[in-house]
Chain A
């Protein structure tokens, strides 16, 4: 009996993973098949990107300030506080910038995307689109994927820049590391491949956020139950799964790009 239940559960999870894979491939297919709904894309760029600027700047600034404190404390033990700039820069550009920016966007925009599409599903708005002979992927998924691909690298860059200045505010202005040392050493040690690593990561995180959020919303009536409770579960699952996937994928990307 237990084996049977385990088998049923395993099959169900394999089926869902297959559905997620097919969903992603369909979204990708329609991304490259015209026509593109440009007004929808712009609307989502405004929502995912522009409306996240303040949140990203705030979290980036404080992350950089914390790195400034912790980095100075650790490096001064070895008499290496002159390397505070490269430490803050590399930590933000290669790792913290892409990951924290992606987690912030997941919490702010990913949850909203899943909820919006979920409500459209349970109120039959997606069925209405299909009955009009229109493709829901083109109207709902593709604009979110394109917007996430455009916005995530830009938001990550903003996070990095504000974070680097946050680190300078603490290291340079408060703890006495000179601006020349801070930025000079950073320019010396941070290379273009480090910046590219951050960009590649942010692009892949954008795909994860759009993919998971849209999938959870689109299938909210089927996998999480109907009604407001179903949408609520879908939204929670979208945030949790996106966050976990971002961290797991970050490990794999780091081990490949290291």
Chain B
């Protein structure tokens, strides 16, 4: 369960989040809708622990994320799938290596298993055949789909 309590954040005196509070239950599908520049991405970054709130707290499964140390934050992120607005693919790696990156760096899976998992994820997002292309060589939509494959490849 995700619990946001009185979350406040401002940048250079400009209030972006003004006391946001809500809860998302286990298994619940939750959509956050709002105008451009309304603070949706900022809110999600607080949930992922990428930003610290000025006030308020973010709690996931009873553990407070906003005040967590690096170690517990890393353990929480292991279970998290996060798709960035711009994809955030590593531009020095091709599509295959981007999707394989978290598995290569964190898991003890063999190269063959990693290859199989990555190719399956790429097929799921309709990117079969594009694995050797670099982010700069594919369209914005394809970048997002590759980023989705990377977010899902670890089975968050």
Given A123-B86, A124-B86, A130 and B50 contact (CB-CB distance below 8 Å): yes
Q: Are B80 and A131 in contact (CB under 8 A)?
A: yes
State whether A130 touches B77 (Cβ < 8 A): yes
Write out the residue numbers on chain A whose beta carbons fall within 8 Å of the beta carbon of B86. Answer: 123-124
User: Does B88 contact A127, Cβ atoms closer than 8 Å?
Assistant: yes
Please tell me which one of the listed residues B48, B85, B89 contacts residue A131 in the complex, with CB atoms under 8 A apart. B48
Q: Which residues of A contact B45 (CB under 8 A)?
A: 127
Residues of A within 8 A of B50 (CB): 127, 130-131
B74 in the interface (beta carbon within 8 A): yes
Pick the contact of B77: A124, A125, A131 (CB < 8 A).
A131
Closest chain-B Cβ to A139's Cβ sits at a distance in Å of 9
Chain A residues, Cβ within 8 Å of B26: none
Q: Which of B68-86 contact A (CB under 8 A)?
A: 74-75, 77-78, 80, 82, 84-86
Which B49-102 residues have C-beta < 8 A from chain A? 50, 74-75, 77-78, 80, 82, 84-86, 88-91, 101-102
Query: Is B14 in contact with chain A by the CB < 8 A criterion?
Result: no
B108 close to chain A: CB less than 8 A: no
Q: Provide the A106-131 mask, 1 if CB < 8 A to any CB of B, else 0.
A: 00000000000001100111011011
Q: How far is the CB of A215 from chain B (nearest CB, A)?
A: 19
What is the CA–CA distance of A144 and B84 in the complex, to the nearest angstrom?
27
Q: Is the CB of B77 within 8 A of A128?
A: no
Chain B 98-125, CB within 8 Å of chain A: the 1/0 string?
Answer: 0001100110000000000000000000
Contact (Cβ within 8 A) B88 A128:
yes
Count contacts between A and B, CB distance < 8 Å.
42
Task: With CB as the reference atom, state the residue of chain A lying closest to B79.
Answer: A133
Are B102 and A132 in contact, with the CB atoms below 8 A?
A: yes
Contacting residues, chain B, for A133 (C-beta < 8 A): 74-75, 77-78, 106
CA distance A132 to B91 in the complex (A): 16
A119 / chain B contacts, CB cutoff of 8 Å: 91
Residues 10-50 of chain B: 1 if any A CB is under 8 Å from the residue's CB, otherwise 0? 00000000000000000000000000000000000100101
Which 4 interchain pairs have the tightest Cβ spacing? Answer: A124-B88, A128-B88, A133-B74, A132-B102
Excluding A130-B77, A131-B48, 10 further A-B contacts by CB distance (< 8 Å) are A120-B90, A123-B88, A124-B84, A124-B85, A124-B86, A124-B88, A132-B77, A133-B74, A133-B75, A134-B106
